């Protein structure tokens, strides 16, 4: 895949730091790591990030917005997730996710969903466990240090950075609408800055 075929220019990915990993890497993420720098920081392969964002958007486009739930316990993901929710009409949950939210209809905050997206599989593990119990697919944004247990689709990226998360959710929102034949450039009012916390 050449750079021209990326969803956004390579520079845009690099400026957002979407490829910057951590000093820890797991065997689950080895295939997505481009290199490990001399300071020990692992760097993700931008081409593989782009490929997986496409797969994520294509998979999500099979679901109506109200069937999608996006969860983020990590604070840097709150704004991107909320704006993603507003832009598409998907359900979202930010902050601490109480176990049983998707499995116990008696709870006040009970949420029905047919697919789950989490910004980090470890802090969002309660939501992942709920999704596994009810048998719905899980898409997880994963950094170099993530495990991929109980995840159906791993999307490699810097899942801790504000700019990285903002860019990813902005791209997926647009691709989702395009794939569903609902994208109108003039009507889509959300910029990448709207998705990105200060």
Residue 3 pLDDT level (bands cut at 50, 70, 90): low
- Break the chain into its structural domains and give their ranges: 3-195
Residue 107 has pLDDT above 80, yes or no: yes
- Give the integer Cα–Cα distance in Å for 118 and 152: 11
pLDDT at 2: 58
Residue 91 is encoded by which pair of tokens?
Answer: 């359900």
In 3D, which of 19, 26, 14, 21 has the Cα closest to residue 40? 21
Architecture of the CATH domain 3-195: 3-Layer(aba) Sandwich (3.40)
Residue 16 pLDDT level (bands cut at 50, 70, 90): very high
pLDDT digits (tens, 9 = 90+) for 32-55: 999 999 999 999 999 999 999 999
pLDDT digits (tens, 9 = 90+) for 120-175: 999 999 999 999 999 999 999 999 999 989 999 999 999 999 999 999 999 999 99
pLDDT digits (tens, 9 = 90+) for 56-89: 999 999 999 999 999 999 999 999 999 999 999 9
Contacts 24+ apart (CB under 8 A), 35-41: none
């Amino acid at each position: 895949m050449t750079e021209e075929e990326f969803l956004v220019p390579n520079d845009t990915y690099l400026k957002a730091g979407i490829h910057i990993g951590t000093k820890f890497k797991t065997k689950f993420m080895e295939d997505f790591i481009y290199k490990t720098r001399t300071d020990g920081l692992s760097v993700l392969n931008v081409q593989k990030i782009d490929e997986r964002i496409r797969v994520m958007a294509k998979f999500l486009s099979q679901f109506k917005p109200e069937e999608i739930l996006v969860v983020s316990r990590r604070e840097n993901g709150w704004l991107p997730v909320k704006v993603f929710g507003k832009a598409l009409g998907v359900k979202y949950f930010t902050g601490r996710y109480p176990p049983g939210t998707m499995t116990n209809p008696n709870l006040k905050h009970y949420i029905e969903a047919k697919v789950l997206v989490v910004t980090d599989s470890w802090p969002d593990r309660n939501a992942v466990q709920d999704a596994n119990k009810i048998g719905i697919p899980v898409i997880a944004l994963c950094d170099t240090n993530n495990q991929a247990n109980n995840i159906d689709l791993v999307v490699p990226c810097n899942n801790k950075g504000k700019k990285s998360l903002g860019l990813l959710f902005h791209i997926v929102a647009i691709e989702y609408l395009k794939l569903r034949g609902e994208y109108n450039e003039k009507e889509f009012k959300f910029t990448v800055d709207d998705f990105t916390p200060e």
